[in-house]
Amino acid sequence: MNRKIITAGIVLVVAFQMTVLFAEYLGAVYPLWTGKEIRLKTTPVDPRSLFMGNYALLDYEISTINGKDFASGKIPRAGEYVYVKLKPGQEGWYVFDGVDPEKPASGTFIRGRLQSGHTSQDIQRVRYGIEAYFASKEKATALEKDLRKGGIAVVMVAGNGKAALKEVVAKQ
């Protein structure tokens, strides 16, 4: 390979790297820019990511669903998208209102992936990509202490159901 081709190749690869970074950035911010704000009940614990440092791991009420709640009666395979329908609850946060493998035509819903390793057909775990709240070690520990009695996650949900975590506050 001559020098010109390698130079052009490296420029293209760096352009590819920048595209990946901007795609990641845009994927993260578009629910924040275009989404609807909802509040979800959550409980944090604080592990540490090898790559990204300390974070509070957030467990939501809607993280565990019942397999019987699938409208079609058929549970999708692990790793596939599911859409959890939400409705405003009496206590000020959104609560579970059904689940479907297909994107609902209307209403408030959040997109997640069905997890493997569930113990029975009745208990299914769903991840929405908003389970980690990254913070410094001190802040993550303080957050866990403040939210011991439960917290509220402020989440932005885009039109396609993709969610972004905005902040976590103590339950009033």
Partner 1 sequence: MRLIRLLKHDLGREISLWAEEGVISTAQAEEICSRYGLDYRNLGRRSFGYQMLVGLGYLFIGLALITLIGANWDEIPRAVRMWGMILLTLGANLLGLIRFRRGQISAAVNWLFLGALFYGASIMLIAQIYHIDEHYPDGIFWWAMGVLPVAILMKSALLMLLAVNLGFIWFFVESFLDFYPVVFPIFLAAAAWYVCRAKQSNTLFLTLVAGVGLWTEYTLAWLLSDKPGFHVGGENVALGVGLFFAFDGLSKWLAGSKNSTSAADYGALLGLYVLRFTIITLFIFSFHYPWTAIISTGWKMPIPAFAISFLLCASAVWLAYKAEESIVSTAVFALLFLVGLLAIMQVEGKEYARSFQFADNIVLVGTGVWLITRGVQSSISHYFYLGVMTILTTGLLRYIDFIGDYVGTAILFAILAAILLGTARYWKSRMANTGTTS
Q: CA-CA distance, 158 to 29, in Å (whole number)?
A: 10
Which residues in the 151-170 window bind partner 1 by CB under 8 A?
164-165
- 119 touches partner 1 by CB under 8 A: no
- 53 touches partner 1 by CB under 8 A: yes
Binds partner 1 by CB under 8 A, chosen from 84, 86, 135, 152: 135
Summarize the chain as % helix, strand, coil (round to 5).
30, 40, 30
Binds partner 1 by CB under 8 A, chosen from 63, 131, 141, 147: 131
Which residues in the 2-31 window bind partner 1 by CB under 8 A?
3, 6-7, 9-14, 16-18, 20-21, 24-25, 27-29
Q: 82-111 mask for partner 1 (x: CB under 8 A)?
A: ------------------------------
User: How many other C-beta atoms are found inside a 10 Å radius of the C-beta of residue 49?
Assistant: 11
Q: Bridge-partner residues for 95, per DSSP? A: 87
Nearer to partner 1, 34 or 88 (CB): 34
Q: CA-CA distance, 68 to 66, in Å (whole number)?
A: 5
Q: Kindly state the tokens that stand for 8.
A: 């052009």
> Whose structure tokens read 């467990």?
59
